[in-house]
């Protein structure tokens, strides 16, 4: 799915006729004016309370032209046509010509938890990895150690990274915020009604590629090109390792190979494949991680999950629905 979109607006672009009046009214009333200065823009305003699903960033202080930015919100639930409509409700221009400043493309995978990806996925050319989750019966975040449950896994650093996370856990956090924000008299809709999933008993993992900082591929670097985004594979740099045997038998390998193979399996389960590869490259006397993993593939974690082909197909299906709607 197209999960997040930010577009650059030329500083000379005029407001639409309708929004020009809205902006004038907001700017003239300090009680409702949402615009405040930020680190990077002269003014930033969340326009959702006024019927626009965007955050508007006006006048970039690092840009000699003072260009603006429209940050579309909740695009995973929007059609492509609606995204363009939201932009053109604010500015009088052709949204298709706008350059993208940030783009997140994602796929939701049912039944495969985040730790599976930690054990079976490598990211090419990503040297930094971090996993964040929840310690059982505690509320604080942690950088994972040992066998604790991973809820969020990052390959690479923002704004260009892969983020793999527990979507149901994120929904639960959003639902708690929704409940706290309602008045005592308001009726809280059920979790299922809001998100389309039950709060427990379902595993839903979102695999997301975040792109920005001037490094969005030319194939999809404008809003108009998103029309063909189903042809772009955002997960092409993820390498899915084959599953190992359920129970390798010592008599098939000999003591030394079996012992080292089981050591590799335990390390893959404890620290993840990305860190294990780095460990092997560091201590194998010449960066032989790939060769070692091929030789010991029978000992890789055995639990089945999803293939690279199926992940891409899931992404294409969700993007296709957004484009066609």
Q: Cβ contacts of residue 291 below 8 Å, gap of 6+? A: none
CA distances from 112 to 104, 119, 281, 300 (A): 21, 12, 28, 17
d(C-alpha 203, C-alpha 108), whole Å? 10
Q: Which residue has the higher pLDDT, 17 or 158?
A: 17
pLDDT for position 168: 95
Contact 4, 78 (CB under 8 A): no
Helix, strand, coil distribution of the chain in percent, nearest 5: 40, 25, 35
Mean pLDDT over 238-256 rounds to 92
Residues present in the chain in total: 325
Q: Cβ contacts of residue 24 below 8 Å, gap of 6+? A: none
pLDDT for position 136: 39
Burial class (CB in 10 A: 0-12, 13-18, 19+), 251: exposed
d(C-alpha 24, C-alpha 125), whole Å? 48
Could you give the 3-state DSSP secondary structure of residue 272?
Answer: coil
pLDDT for position 132: 63
pLDDT confidence band for 149 (50 / 70 / 90): low
Q: Which residue has the higher pLDDT, 125 or 16?
A: 16
Q: What is the pLDDT of residues 259-275, one digit of tens each?
A: 999 999 999 888 888 88
User: Kind and range of the H or E element at 70?
Assistant: strand 68-72
Q: What is the pLDDT of residues 26-40, one digit of tens each?
A: 989 999 999 999 999
Mean pLDDT over 201-207 rounds to 95
Residue 277 confidence (pLDDT) above 60: yes
d(C-alpha 317, C-alpha 152), whole Å? 24
Contact 165, 152 (CB under 8 A): yes
d(C-alpha 210, C-alpha 122), whole Å? 16
Q: What is the pLDDT of residues 70-94, one digit of tens each?
A: 999 989 999 999 999 999 999 999 9
CA 252, 257, 259, 264 torsion-angle sign: negative
Beta-bridge partners for 142: 133
**Cβ-count burial 212-234 (b if 16+ within 10 Å, e if not):** beeebeeebbbbebbeebbebeb
Q: List the helix and strand counts (H, then E) for the chain.
A: 9, 12
pTM, two decimals, is: 0.83
d(C-alpha 277, C-alpha 281), whole Å? 6
CA distances from 130 to 39, 142, 147, 271 (A): 26, 10, 15, 10
Q: Are strands 54-60 and 41-46 parallel, antiparallel or unpaired?
A: antiparallel
d(C-alpha 26, C-alpha 31), whole Å? 9
């Amino acid at each position: 799915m197209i999960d997040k979109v930010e577009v650059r607006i030329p500083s000379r672009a005029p407001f639409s006729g309708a929004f020009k009046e809205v902006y004038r009214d907001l700017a003239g009333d300090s009680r409702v004016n949402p615009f405040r200065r930020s680190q990077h823009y002269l003014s930033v305003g969340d326009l959702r309370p006024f019927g626009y699903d965007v955050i508007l960033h006006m006048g970039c202080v690092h840009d000699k032209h003072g260009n603006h930015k429209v940050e579309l919100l909740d695009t995973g639930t929007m059609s492509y046509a609606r995204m363009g409509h939201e932009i053109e409700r604010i500015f009088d221009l052709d949204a298709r010509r706008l350059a993208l400043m940030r783009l997140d493309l994602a796929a939701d995978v049912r039944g495969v938890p985040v730790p599976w990806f930690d054990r079976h996925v490598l990211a090419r050319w990503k040297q930094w990895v971090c996993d964040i989750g929840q310690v059982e019966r505690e509320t604080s975040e942690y950088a994972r150690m040992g066998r604790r449950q991973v809820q969020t896994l990052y390959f690479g650093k923002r704004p260009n990274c892969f983020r793999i996370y527990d979507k149901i856990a994120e929904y639960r956090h959003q639902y708690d915020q929704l409940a706290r924000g309602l008045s005592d008299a308001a009726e809280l809709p059920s979790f299922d009604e809001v998100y389309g999933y039950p709060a427990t008993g379902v595993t839903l993992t979102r695999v997301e590629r975040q792109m920005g900082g001037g490094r969005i591929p030319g194939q999809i670097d404008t809003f108009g090109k998103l029309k063909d985004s189903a042809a772009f594979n955002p997960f092409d740099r993820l390498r899915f390792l084959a599953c190992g045997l359920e129970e390798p038998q010592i008599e098939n390998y000999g003591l030394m190979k079996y012992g080292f193979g089981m050591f590799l399996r335990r390390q893959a389960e404890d620290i993840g494949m990305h860190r294990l590869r780095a460990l092997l490259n560091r201590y194998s006397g010449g960066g032989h991680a790939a060769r070692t993993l091929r030789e010991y593939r029978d000992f890789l974690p055995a639990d089945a999950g999803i293939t690279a082909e199926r992940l891409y197909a899931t992404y294409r299906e969700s993007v296709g629905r957004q484009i066609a709607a």
